[in-house]
Amino acid sequence: MHPDRTDISDPNASGATLQRILLVDDSAVQLKILAAMMRHWGFEVWQAESGAEALALCEEIAFDAVLSDWMMPGMDGLELCRQFRQLPRDSYGYFILLTSKNERGAIVRGLDAGADDFLTKPVSSDELRARINAGARLLSTQRQLAETLTKLRRAYDAIDRDLRQARTIQEALVPRRFQRFRTATVSLLLKPCGHVGGDLVGMFSPDPTGVGVYCIDVSGHGITSAMMTARVAGYLGGDFPDQNIALERRRDRQMSFCPPRVVAMRLNQRLSADPGVLEYLTMAYLTLELGSGLVTLVRAGHPPPLLIRADGSMEFVGVGSLPVGLLADACYEETRLSLAPGDRILLYSDGMTEARLSSGGMLDDHGLIALVRECLAARGTEFLDDLYWRLSQLTPPGHPLEDDVSAALVEYDGP
């Protein structure tokens, strides 16, 4: 039936969020009494004389509230309430059952069916008004929450777009995953656990005689750590050698490598000098002389690189030092070793060895060696991708890795 409408004389009492009300009763007299009260209070009123008729109206109109008699022929109020709750809606609908039942079991069945409130016949106008006002408060709260959720969803979408763009920018910090340097190749892997991460890998070569490779892990996760990696990438970039703190210009105007311990010291001084910056980073950085195979390595709080000999034997290498940016006067030690043809050295972040496994423990050093043995037949980026895939298969199903994973693989072919 079409609604009877009157102007709302007391919008604060009726509640601006509760306007459209459907009255359901097989008694024409009861409908007339309830409709008169509702119109007097300024509501838009629809009427239905059966549950089936009421359900058909509810499929067309999103009523703010439904007042339904419990006992009706055919579809009773309890079944109407159940089917009303199954209708697709953008907002909540308040449902009041009118009944002469007041035993506990009846109330439980009504609540299980989805009823919000109950009124006992004969209906008191004061009690009905109070119940309607209670429903209005509930709907007002629900709609405020819905509006807040909509705003949060929009804010999340905006942040998500920004983070996706930030990920694109961060991926640009590692423009090449593979590069050949005369007698050696360098391959890189960078897998953030979120949109952006705090790991960074890279390589640079100022001249044909050597190559520098680094693997860095900034403390923490997310945007702050990602901003730190972007800053450090500027210090160790290969596109602008004059700005790279790992390089220095010789007397013949050519660029050459600084000792790795000096690089760690310079980076530490820059990060420690910034007030308000609480983040620090761990780093494994090496230089490789392409002719002799000599590696000079500094390990600043980072996991020890894995030396993989051509015969398949392996060992962890590198003397540990303090992380970069933790103490302003930190000192760093170097490790020197020689690569023979066919040897490889793997730099990696702790997101690999500290990965949580389905068994409940972490991968640890022994697990890393076991994984590497399974990948020995592969080379370059294929080796790193295979290593990461095998690691992901050991983690709990449906639970991605909790930390960023990065790695750099240096493969020496010999002069």
Residues 167-176 have pLDDT tens digits of 777 677 777 8
For the segment(s) 11-146, the CATH number from 3.40.50.1370, 3.40.50.2300, 3.40.50.720, 3.40.50.150 is 3.40.50.2300
Cα 181 to Cα 410: distance, rounded to the nearest angstrom: 10
Residues 311-335 have pLDDT tens digits of 999 999 999 999 999 888 899 999 9
Query: How many Å separate Cα 370 from the centre of its chain?
Result: 30
Query: How many Å separate Cα 24 from the centre of its chain?
Result: 47
- Extract the runs of DSSP E, i.e. beta strands, from 107-259: 117-120, 178-181, 184-191, 199-204, 210-218, 247-249, 255-257
Residues 102-135 have pLDDT tens digits of 666 778 888 888 898 888 888 888 888 988 988 8
Cα 403 to Cα 401: distance, rounded to the nearest angstrom: 6
Cα 214 to Cα 264: distance, rounded to the nearest angstrom: 11
Q: Which sign, positive or negative, has the C-alpha torsion 376, 378, 381, 387? A: negative
Confirm whether 11-146 and 172-412 share one CATH topology. no
Q: Pick from 305, 308, 309: which is nearest to 318 by CA?
A: 305
Assigned CATH for 172-412: 3.60.40.10
Q: Write out the H or E segment, with its range, that includes residue 98.
A: strand 94-99
Give the C-alpha distances (Å, rounded to integers) separating 166 from 263, 274, 370: 27, 23, 35
Strands 44-48 and 20-24: parallel
Residues constituting the chain = 415
Cα 288 to Cα 22: distance, rounded to the nearest angstrom: 81
What average pLDDT does the segment 200-222 reach?
90
Domain boundaries, the chain: 11-146, 172-412
DSSP labels, 322-339: PPBTS-TT----EEEEEP
Strands 247-249 and 344-348: unpaired
What average pLDDT does the segment 248-271 reach?
88
Mean pLDDT of the residues in the chain:
88
Residues 331-388 have pLDDT tens digits of 999 999 999 999 999 999 999 999 999 888 999 999 999 999 999 999 999 999 999 9
Q: Pick from 117, 82, 119: which is nearest to 98 by CA?
A: 119
